[in-house]
Amino acid sequence: MKKYFLLILAIGLLNGLNSFAQTTADTPKGQPEAMIDLATAEGVKLVNGKWRYSDTRIIEIDFKGPGPDNQPTGAAVKTYDYMPHAGGADFDDSHWQVIDASTLNARRSTGRLCFNWYRIKITIPERIDNFDPTGATVVFETALDDYAEIWVDGELSRALGQMGGSVISGWNAPNRLIVGRNVKPGQQIQLGIFGANGPLSNPPTNFIWMRYAKLDFYKSAAPAVPLALTTAEVNVEIVRRDPAMDAIVGPNPKIFKLAEGFKFTEGPVWVREGKYLLFSDPNSNVIYKYTPEGNSAGKLDVFRTPSGYSGADIVEYGQPGSNGLALDPQGRLTINEHGN
């Protein structure tokens, strides 16, 4: 039951998200139609961005050791964290140092066991030379000395067995991942690059620096419809205003992203006998069916369309389709069809 609960929770993350890939296998290869060098003043100006920088500091915090359930429910312990946690899309970096793009390869942080942050908010330009980026897939690529993790619009996605993309690729190895699909000029994407000095078990007598940073634009790689993704864990933060929340979500909740590219999603229901998930996109007037495929990308199909109103004046309704879905005691699908 817990597995199904997690799958249903994931639908809450599908609304309007058209960014980040989970694995390097998702990322288009070959010659891009256009490229922007974010290590140059010209490239940063083209995306109307600014590189902002911050060191980090390691702090001691209170935590709990492992309990009988293998979760952090045991005895009180001391452990370590770091500050600032700057991956969030709405993190305020306005007080951070603004650094020139041409200095990304300057040595930074404190050396030995150390970490740092580079952040930039990019805006998709109207044109890149003669290329119109409308509808393109955008790939961000960088390489840090020594390791990097990449946050996109406040998310650090990660899939089982993943190497590279949003997570550490290897020793001074490139990180390459999709940061936008079907993009539009004027669309903004927040990037956060978390750097680490390494090897971690043998902290070196040097510093962190960025070898390069660029955006590749692929026109043909952009899917025209919503698509299923390699199942990837995404961030979750529970605000516990009542201890009773622990009984609902547990001490270590997980949420996984299954698909993206929808206008709006709600009303998920897990069909246990068929082992698939149904959910509504009321703005598109569609009910989708998602069938899991283990840790690989699942199968996404249109289950019903129109899912709600289909009158001649449908254009007057912003959400003509179904919203809430439920199964009755006989296992029949009950559809809450509205017409806002």
144-153, 165-174, 213-222: segment of lowest average pLDDT: 213-222
pLDDT of 5 over the 60 cut: no
218 and 27 Cβ atoms separated by less than 8 Å: no
State the pTM of this model: 0.83
CA distance 279 to 267: 5
- ∠137-162-205 over CA atoms, to 5°? 100
More confident residue, 291 or 8: 291
Residue 17, pLDDT score: 43
pLDDT of 13 over the 50 cut: no
Residue 220, pLDDT score: 67
pLDDT of 4 over the 70 cut: no
Residue 221, pLDDT score: 56
Give the type of residue at 24.
T
- The mean predicted confidence, pLDDT, of the chain is 89
Nearest of 178, 183, 187, 177 to residue 133 by alpha carbon: 183
- 155 Cβ neighbours under 8 A, 6+ residues apart: 19, 20, 87, 234, 235
3-17, 33-47, 225-239: segment of lowest average pLDDT: 3-17
Please write down the HEC assignment for all residues of the chain.
CHHHHHHHHHHHHCECCCCCCCCHHHCCCCCCCEEEECCCHHHHHHCCCCEEEEECEEEEEEEECCCCCCCCCCCEEEEEEEECCCCCCCCCCCCCEEECHHHCCCCECCCCCCEEEEEEEEECCCCECCECCCCCEEEEEEEEECEEEEEECCECCECCCCCCCCCCCCCCCEEEEEEECCCCCCCEEEEEEEEECCCCCCCCCCCEEEEEEEEEEECCCCCCCCEEEEEEEECCCCCCCCCCHHHHHCCCCCEEEEEECECCCEEEEEECCCCEEEEEECCCCEEEEEEEECCEEEEEEEEECCCCCCCCCHHHCCCCCEEEEEECCCCCEEEEECCC
CB atoms within 10 A of CB 97: 11
pLDDT of 11 over the 80 cut: no
150 and 175 Cβ atoms separated by less than 8 Å: yes
pLDDT of 231 over the 90 cut: no
155 and 165 Cβ atoms separated by less than 8 Å: no
pLDDT tens track for 37-59: 999 999 999 999 999 999 999 99
116 and 56 Cβ atoms separated by less than 8 Å: yes
CA distance 123 to 111: 33
Residue 271, pLDDT score: 96
Residue 137, pLDDT score: 94
pLDDT tens track for 326-338: 999 999 999 987 6
pLDDT tens track for 120-136: 999 999 999 999 999 99
Q: Which CATH superfamily is domain 18-218 in?
A: Galactose-binding domain-like (2.60.120.260)
> How sure is the predictor about 295, in pLDDT bands with cuts at 50, 70 and 90?
confident
User: Any idea which residue has 């911050």 for tokens?
Assistant: 54
Give the type of residue at 261.
G
CA distance 26 to 218: 13
pLDDT tens track for 194-215: 999 999 999 999 999 999 999 9
| Phi/psi at 281 (5° precision) | -120, 90
Taking the domains of the chain in order of start, what are their residue ranges? 2-12+225-337, 18-218
| Residues 68-97, mean pLDDT to the nearest whole number | 96
> How sure is the predictor about 248, in pLDDT bands with cuts at 50, 70 and 90?
confident
Residue 16, pLDDT score: 45
265 and 324 Cβ atoms separated by less than 8 Å: no
Nearest of 82, 112, 97, 113 to residue 51 by alpha carbon: 97
| Phi/psi at 255 (5° precision) | -130, 140
Diameter over CA atoms, the chain:
71
| Residues 318-330, mean pLDDT to the nearest whole number | 91
Nearest of 165, 175, 153 to residue 232 by alpha carbon: 165
Residue 49, pLDDT score: 98
Percent of the chain with pLDDT over 90: 68
> How sure is the predictor about 8, in pLDDT bands with cuts at 50, 70 and 90?
very low
